[in-house]
Structure 1
Amino acid sequence: MKRTHLPLNGLRVLDAAARHLSFTRAADELAVTPAAVGQQIRALEDTLGVVLFRRTTRGLELTPEAEAGLAPLRDGFLHFEEAVRAMQAGQSSKSLTIAAPRDLTEKWLLPRLAAYAAREPDVRFVLLSDTDGVDFAQANLDLAIRWGDGPGEHEGEAIESDGMVTVAVEGAPDTTIGWDGLEAHIRVADAGLAIDAAAAGLGRAMVPQMLAERDIAAGRVTMLGDAVPSHGGYWLVAPLPQWRQAKVKALVEALAG
């Protein structure tokens, strides 16, 4: 019999009925009706071509054919349980692989991971630079942080932000510092470098508020005017299997607010 055709549900019912020698007690264990247990056993007997139980004056008895298969059947269920535990080990581990743009990691993510690790001392992080969209499968990623107007093809949650802010230092020229492909007097690779260029007095830069908040709080740069809404923002994203993991859910909850 092919593995894909193994009547696993029926075999599970057989194990319970054999232990109790009662369809009623097996039904109680499996949270089904005694009639459903009987149907599963009859279907299994039809599939295997053997009789598994006989009713006698003393009650339900196993046939020799059923007795012959019980020990390897129960060994098989034990192996299934070991397989499930092995597959769940990665989910229960405290190691998280995260991909994010370099400037976001430096300006925003690292201090939040430090705070999270202080609350969860067993946690371990692997951080990757995600400038061109790292492949989840190839990099064995748990979570990525990406700029956009939504999660794209993955599950996702937006990181709260006030939008975009313009930053500079006192006395800086009106020179514009660009990082996102727009025309500017000075062009840099990312928003983090734009903030650093503004802090160095090279001009003014419009950047995501969440990236500039620490530099503003430290007095490295000053915010000019109010924050303005942005067409995009940073999203925590992952494919559905990773998104469902308890360790990923906990980190998303910690980072999204």
Structure 2
Amino acid sequence: MKRTHLPLNGMRVFDAAARHLSFTRAADELAVTPAAVGQQIRALEDTLGVVLFRRTTRGLELTPEAEAGLGALRGGFLQFEEAVRAMQAGQSSKSLTIAAPRDLTEKWLMPRLAAIAAADPDLRFVLIAADELVDFTEANLDLAIRWGEGPGEHQGEALESDGMVTVAAANASGEAAIAWPGAPAAEGGTALVRVADAGLAIDAAASGLGRATVPHLLAAHDLETGRIVQIGDAVPSQLGYWLVAPLPQWRQQKVRALVEMLGR
């Protein structure tokens, strides 16, 4: 019989009925009716072509055919349990692999991971720089952070943000724009410098090279410390940072815990 055709549910019912020698008590264990147990046993007998139980004046008895296979069946169930425990072992792992844009990692992610690790010293993080969403299977990722309008093909949760802000050094003069890929079009002014990402745009602004319009999430720490100042109000943006993962990773307990901590 092919593995895909194994009557596993019927075998589970058979195991319970064989332990109790009672369809009623097996039904109680499995949270079904005695009639459902009897139906499963009859279907299993039809599939296997053997009789598994006989009713006698003393009650239910196993046939020799049933006894011959019962030990191997129970050994198989124990191996199934071991396999499940092995597959679930990663749930208790303290190692998490995260992919995120370089500037977000430097400006926002690493300080938060440091605070999370301080509360749980056993945690270990592997950080991968990725401006584009990478292959979760190939990179063995647990979680990724992406910039966009949504989680795309994965499960996801948005990081709260005030949108885009324009920043400059406190003593900066002039309105030269600092350009970076993905920056909103400047309203007037000339780009004095072009940089690779929003994090470098913030650093360029702090150095007095002009004004940069960047995600508030990235600029928040430098604004709080006075390294840069905000010019005007924040502007809502359709784009934002998203915590994303395929559904199997998203369901993992350690990933859900990390998402909750990062989203605070």
* Normalised TM-score (structure 1): 0.97
- Which secondary structure does the structure 2 equivalent of 1:174 belong to? coil
Shift of 1:121: 2.5
**Equivalent runs, 1:147-186 vs 2, <5 Å:** 147-172=147-172, 173-181=174-182, 182=185, 184-186=191-193
Is 1:234 the counterpart of 2:241? The answer is: yes
Is 1:139 the counterpart of 2:148? The answer is: no
- Which secondary structure does the structure 2 equivalent of 1:207 belong to? strand
Match of 1:250 in 2: 257
Question: In structure 2, how many angstroms separate the alpha carbons of the residues matched to 1:122 and 1:105?
Answer: 21
Question: In structure 1, how many angstroms separate the alpha carbons of the residues matched to 2:39 and 2:16?
Answer: 14
Question: In structure 2, how many angstroms separate the alpha carbons of the residues matched to 1:32 and 1:237?
Answer: 39
Task: Please identify, of 242-251 and 173-182, the stretch whose mean Cα deviation from structure 2 is larger.
Answer: 173-182
Question: In structure 1, how many angstroms separate the alpha carbons of the residues matched to 2:13 and 2:120?
Answer: 41
**Runs ≥4 in structure 1, deviation > 4 angstroms?**
none
Shift of 1:133: 2.1
Identity of aligned residues (%): 79
Q: Is the 8 A contact 2:132 2:146 kept in 1?
A: no
Is 1:47 the counterpart of 2:47? The answer is: yes
Task: Please identify, of 37-46 and 163-172, the stretch whose mean Cα deviation from structure 2 is larger.
Answer: 163-172
Deviations 1:61-85 (A, max 9, x none): 0000000001100000000000001
Q: Is the 8 A contact 2:170 2:227 kept in 1?
A: no
Is 1:215 the counterpart of 2:222? The answer is: yes
Deviations 1:22-48 (A, max 9, x none): 000000000000000000000000000
Match of 1:56 in 2: 56
* Normalised TM-score (structure 2): 0.95
Match of 2:196 in 1: 189
- Gaps of at least 5 residues in structure 1 are none
Is 1:82 the counterpart of 2:89? The answer is: no
Deviations 1:136-185 (A, max 9, x none): 11001111000001111111110000011111113323111011255633
How many residues in Structure 1 have an aligned counterpart in Structure 2?
257
AA partner of residue 177 (structure 1): I
Q: Is the 8 A contact 2:192 2:209 kept in 1?
A: no
- Gaps of at least 5 residues in structure 2 are none
Deviations 1:233-255 (A, max 9, x none): 00001111111111111111111
- Which secondary structure does the structure 2 equivalent of 1:185 belong to? strand
Question: In structure 1, how many angstroms separate the alpha carbons of the residues matched to 2:133 and 2:61?
Answer: 62
Which of 185, 201, 206 is matched with 1:199 structurally?
A: 206
Match of 2:23 in 1: 23
Task: Please identify, of 86-95 and 43-52, the stretch whose mean Cα deviation from structure 2 is larger.
Answer: 86-95
Match of 2:118 in 1: 118
- Which secondary structure does the structure 1 equivalent of 2:45 belong to? helix
Question: In structure 2, how many angstroms separate the alpha carbons of the residues matched to 1:112 and 1:89?
Answer: 26
Q: Is the 8 A contact 2:91 2:254 kept in 1?
A: yes
Question: In structure 1, how many angstroms separate the alpha carbons of the residues matched to 2:51 and 2:120?
Answer: 55
Shift of 1:225: 1.5
AA partner of residue 208 (structure 2): G
